[in-house]
Amino acid sequence: MIVRSVRRCFGGTQGYYEHASLRCGGPMRYSVYLPPAAERGPVPALYYLAGLECSEETFPIKAGAQRVAAELGLALVSGDTSPRVARFPGDDASWDFGVAAGFYLDATEAPWAAAYQLESYYVEELRQEVEANFPVSSVRRGIMGHSMGGHGALTLALRHPELYASCSALAPIVAPSQVPWGKKAFQGYLGSDPQRWAEHDACQLVLRRKHPAKILIDQGTDDKFLSEQLRPELFAEAAARAGQALELRRQTGYDHSYYFVATFIESHLRHHAALLGG
């Protein structure tokens, strides 16, 4: 582990780090906020997955989550959204595929399969890295995310409920198999096999793999991506069919920005703390 910086923050510490990743073909960066309670023993860890064009710095800088995390005794972990060292032709040709757009899945198509292994990175490498180097619990974990990261939080929680005891999302892509962002990413990373797509689509996953805890989702009604890319009503319908406990809150007048995230982050942290025992 390489320590890039550590600063005091609300009685705890906000740190930025780097470590070697076999899954992503080179060094990956991540951030960890440790609350004051971490000085007395292991605390629950909440993993945050960021959206398109973001990095491990976006959430700790923009969301304003540290104050409440300090109160609740939650560690906040945020990783990067794609490999940065392993590079492939065309990986920066568009903002919604390639660099900063890994979609939290393990790519099966060349050349992306060589390094775009974001699911394995998060559930194996980053988790093990954090638990080996910081005073966080190895059994009390939650996961949340925004936009593309909301897609990641939902799918990873549904695919790995034994790892994540709590889940929430802000403006998530819930049906990637049916919307332009998801179709582009899935075709590029997974090829044309619809079964591979279904394994990373929250609306299809929840019909087969319910999460034991209630899922919380917030969605702004003035989000410019709402009707074409996000489609939260599709997940609400699928969750109702599956019997998945879900609280979907439609927030009047809010858009897709981090002003929206910052407004509702406190209630999300309290949702996770109630389930994780922060």
Tokens linked to 262: 């910052």
Which residue in 91, 106, 218, 223 is the catalytic one? 223
Q: List % helix, strand, coil for the chain (3-state, nearest 5).
A: 40, 25, 35
256 is catalytic: yes
Which neighbouring-strand residues pair with 14? Answer: 7, 33
Q: Across the chain, how many H-helices and E-strands are there?
A: 10, 9
CA distances from 249 to 14, 198, 268 (A): 30, 25, 12
CA distances (Å), origin 109, targets 112, 135, 183: 6, 37, 14
CA dist., res. 136 & res. 133, Å (int): 9
Catalytic residue among 151, 200, 256, 271: 256
DSSP character at residue 214: P
- Residue 27 · residue 1 · CB < 8 Å: no
- Active-site residue identified among 31, 78, 147, 166: 147
Exposure letters 71-94 (e unless 16+ CB within 10 A, then b): bbbbbbbbbbbbbbebebeebeee
Instruction: Please say if 223 is a catalytic residue.
Output: yes
Q: For residue 49, what are the β-bridge partners?
A: 145
Catalytic site positions: 147, 223, 256
